Amino acid sequence: MRFLSLVCALPLLVTACAWEDDRPIVWERTRNVLGPISLKTQIAYVDSALDRVTLLDLAADSPRITTKNIGRNAMHAVPSHDRHRLFVITRGEEAVHHGQIDQEAMLWSLDTENASADPVAYTIGSPFDRIAVSPDNTIAIAYFSAAGPDAEGFFRNPNELAVIDLTRPPGDDNPTLKTIRSFGSVPEGIALSPPMTVPGTASPRTFAFILSSNNLTVLDVSNPSRREISIRLDLGGTPVIPKEVVFAPNTASAYVRSDNARDVLQVLLQSAEPTIANGNDYRPQLAELGAGGGPTDIAVYDDVTGKRYILAATPNTSEIVVIDADTAQFRSVPVSDPIDKIILFPAGGDVPPSPPHKALFASIGAKMKRVYVLDLEHINDPLTQASVRRINLDQPIRDVVPVPGRELAMLVHDDNRTVLGLLDMGTESTSPLLGIDRLDSYDFSPDGSHLIGATPNVSRVGFVALDNLHPTDFRLDDEPHRVLSTANAKIFVDHGDPLGHATIIPSPTASREQALVLTGFLTVNLLDSEP
């Protein structure tokens, strides 16, 4: 095993400066490190005290380490959907003591694929602590979580949003700050659509669906100065809480699953003449699609002909409902268990994605000892009997995780994640896997060939070859904190050291001699940085 230490003479520097009143303020500030965050072939850490992002690029044999400066007091970070970009919110700082600077809250957009590209900062004005990003990386929305005002604030407007056009530079009109109408509730989540063209309008655009109790708000974020459209969901009794939105961009539709709702809500966007200057040129048409029993999970897919279907689990009626999105006609498939999780297979990995041909149904909340499979290929044929097949399990099921790019699902059987199973969707058979301790961190290799797992109590990384279920392990010198797999199949093991300590394993079959232990990477160029 190779060792590479990058630790600076930090203790010596702190000691030498201990009697200086004007020492750099970075030594006094509270330090919170966000990460590790998995990107494509890079791992990112965000340092709130040093005001920078450290990127470890694992594309080559030896890691390349770069740092990018951002604003003061980083508080939230998310990668883009394609993992090429990183978005960070910094709270900013009020200059009170020597060495501090006045800085507003900002959203930072980092192009992690281009080492020479500087981060782009958008002044968002409020210390938002959540970020929603559109699938095509063109729009971001910063908003507040339900945590309430923080200790450094005074007033908080929980219905305020900052809409950022990531295709344009920062300016007076970018971001757009907007307060959406409230009916006594606050946003609990935001789903951004892929580009959708409303029939009768000129070009594709992005819509935000803002979820709050008893209310669904639709905002044209490609034209954020226009008014939002509010859709009341309450039935005059138990609050209706939207939980999940799936999009059908070809038909400019969204399907919404809500707690305490009777059915799946279809929101079909149609063209309309604006009634005021700079008004909306669309309106939502609503339809309740025949779930009929309060859906607990939904999934949307297109078959080989492009026809769109919605699967909805409705435990109240003991059914799985298959809905034709174009006609709203539906078929009901009896299932006695309280299904609350639907997974489609194949579960991704193909570009473009292949139409799914099987659906897996599980009862996670009820911890049932069985799952169900439904064939989807001829689900629209009225002469075909639609029925589910039951697969009995030895243990109650706690979770189901699809393996990327494979027709495999990992079944978790106990709360400590020590008893696992692998379900082969081709043969519909299961194989047990027993762990020595709790599986606190796991990932899959990008081609779905290996399951990778670790626990902080055991100085090893475990591998399972998913072709033949052969287990192996890799001995570490220190306990793991988190394990990640990069897009080029390297395994990054973070050991939880605030100065940076990680083991990089070239592949699931690599030996210890081929691995690299990297220490001190979070202090790289520290002595050259500005205070």
Q: Extract long-range pairs of 44-48: CB within 8 Å, 24+ residues apart.
A: 44/77, 44/79, 44/86, 44/112, 45/500, 45/522, 46/70, 46/74, 46/77, 46/88, 47/74, 47/522, 48/73, 48/74, 48/75
- Which of 106-110, 226-230, 383-387 has the lowest average pLDDT? 383-387
Q: What is the pTM of this model?
A: 0.90
Give the per-residue pLDDT at 526: 72
What's the pLDDT score for residue 349? 52
Tokens of 85: 């970009």
Across the chain, mean pLDDT equals 88
What digits encode the pLDDT tens for the residues 472-503? 999 999 999 999 999 999 999 999 999 999 99
Q: Out of 3.90.120.10, 2.130.10.10, 3.90.1150.200, 3.90.1640.10, which CATH number does the structure's domain 31-179 have?
A: 2.130.10.10
- Judge if 31-179 and 322-434 fold alike in CATH terms: yes
The span from the CA of 24 to the CA of 13, in Å, is 11
- List, for residues 212-224, the tens digit of each pLDDT value: 999 999 999 999 9
pLDDT band at 155 (very low <50, low <70, confident <90, very high): confident
Question: Each residue of 361-394: pLDDT tens digit?
Answer: 999 999 999 999 999 988 877 767 788 999 999 9
For the domain spanning 322-434, the CATH number is 2.130.10.10
Confidence of residue 72 (pLDDT cuts 50, 70, 90): very high
Measured between alpha carbons, how far is residue 228 from residues 31, 252, 284, 347 in Å? Answer: 39, 17, 11, 34
Residue 105 has pLDDT above 70, yes or no: yes
What span, in angstroms and rounded, lies between the C-alpha atoms of 457 and 453?
12
pLDDT of residue 149: 61
Radius of gyration of the chain, Cα coordinates, nearest whole angstrom: 25
Write down the pLDDT at residue 31.
81
Asked which of 320-324, 423-427, 436-440, 514-518 is least confident by mean pLDDT, the reply is 436-440
Domain ranges across the chain: 1-30+440-531, 31-179, 184-289, 322-434
**Taking a C-beta distance cutoff of 8 angstroms, is the pair 86, 79 a contact?**
yes
Comparing CA positions, the residue from 320, 315, 332 lying closest to residue 372 is 320
pLDDT over 70 at 104, yes or no: yes
Cα 484 to Cα 493: distance, rounded to the nearest angstrom: 7
The two three-digit tokens of residue 75, written as one number: 């508080």
